[in-house]
A and B are shown apart, each in its own frame.
Chain A
Amino acid sequence: MTTENKNSVIQQKLAKTLHRFESKIAAGDYYEAHQTLRTIANRYVRARTYELAIELVSQGATSLLKAKQGGSGTDLIFYLLEIYDQAEVTVDEGSTGRLIQLLVLIEPTEPNMKDVITGMNNWSIKFSDFKFGDPYLHNVIALKLFEGEHIYEAERYFMLGTHDSVGKYIELVWNWFVQAVDEEIQKGINTPQLTLVGDFFSRLIFNYLFISNIKFANEAKEKFLKQYVEEYPDLEYEIISKRIPGQDEDFKLVLFKDCYELNFLQLLILTCQTKNKALFQSLNEHYKELKIKFAPQLEFLGQEYFGIQAQRQSNFLQDMMSGLLGGSK
């Protein structure tokens, strides 16, 4: 028998297995379908015909998830990841795309969802050059976590995503800010936006500066502030444009009369670009209150861009508190 014939025989067998599996799913016989498929996939794995096992298991998981069988569906995803690991499947469009298609089908309320996400990301860390995982995968993971209302986790994956993720991250922070303002207004507070905006805007700027993504920091600055001045027409500000040598676009500072935090954060991006330690220090000196408020963030940026070694004055209580408050929700 030629290889071609042999392959087509295998393909036929696979198609048959899947067909039988689908009829069981249609009949509501999920347990039986799940078990049979696992047994056959096992056989493929033992014979090291990984491609077939991958095909079978991912199609099986797809059908189960579509039939709202989250438990069995995610079980097969874990199995698929085991096969990926054993077969040393590397991160590429095909292998990641298969996981993304499955991820999209998982219900955001599925109890296993976070574990599935961790499993997928760990695979992408192991079989790619990305220390924190594949950015395309992150973009979908972030959306899924967001749907499941795991906001802080979603934020982290958006930050490590693709260009597509930037717009979504800005949108998330913006909507969150608007909700916070509403909440304060309901309590009878006047113009809460002035005191709240910095807390939200700073998340975008710091997170992108942390990973040295000047482009995304600038994009977040432009889009968020544009929305801010449009939403609140009473804000007092002026725009100062400055030519930056060697750059196509001017640096635009939206100088706010009533929110120096926004002014500071905008200048911080430009300062990081210069990598000039004296400028960084003078910025921090002028905005003394923010130097204290953002101490851990600025300490990190000091090391990252300006080579300032942190003096490790361990403040046990503060470290413990930030550990408790800074993690997940």
Chain B
Amino acid sequence: ATPVSEKEFTSKFLTLATLNEPVLSSNYQKSLKDVSALGVALPALKYRYNPKRVK
């Protein structure tokens, strides 16, 4: 089979993903009172942030 192009994939994917009403609405927020895990620590970036250099 020929590999599916990204355009083709996303188009099909979007169709499937929007067949039904999503379980969580686009403005869903779990109350922070119910949050009991913060996920995983994201890797550190190799770039230093310099607050003084902000344009």
- For the complex, give the distance between the alpha carbons of A276 and B19 in Å: 11
Chain B hits for A151, CB < 8 A = 49
Contact partners of A129 in chain B: CB under 8 A: 33
Query: Given contacts A183-B47, A286-B9, are A297 and B26 in contact (CB under 8 A)?
Result: no
CB of A190 to closest CB in B, whole Å = 17
Decide: A253 near B22, CB < 8 A? Known: A130-B32, A180-B47: no
Of A5-13, A19-27, A81-89, A211-219, the one touching chain B: A211-219
Complex Cα distance, B28 from A247, in Å, reads 11
Give min CB distance, A259 to chain B, whole Å. 11
For B11-47 the 0/1 string (1 means CB < 8 A from A) is 1011111111111111111101101111111111101
The residues in A between 223 and 273 inclusive whose CB is less than 8 angstroms from any CB of B are: 240, 242-249, 251, 253, 255, 260, 263, 267, 270-273
B1 contact set on A, CB distance < 8 A: none
Q: Min CB distance, B52 to chain A, in Å? A: 9
Instruction: Give complex CA distance A275, B17 in Å.
Output: 10
Cross-interface CB contact of A246 among B25, B35, B39, B50, cutoff 8 Å = B25
Whether the pair B6, A176 counts as a contact (CB closer than 8 A) is: no
Within the assembled complex, what's the spacing in Å between the Cα atoms of A193 and B15? 30
Is the beta-carbon distance between A206 and B42 smaller than 8 angstroms?
yes
A206 to B47, Cβ gap below 8 A? no
A286 to B12, CA, bound (A): 12
| A132 contacts B32, C-beta separation under 8 Å | yes
Compute how far the CA of A282 lies from the CA of B22 in the bound complex, rounded to whole angstroms.
17
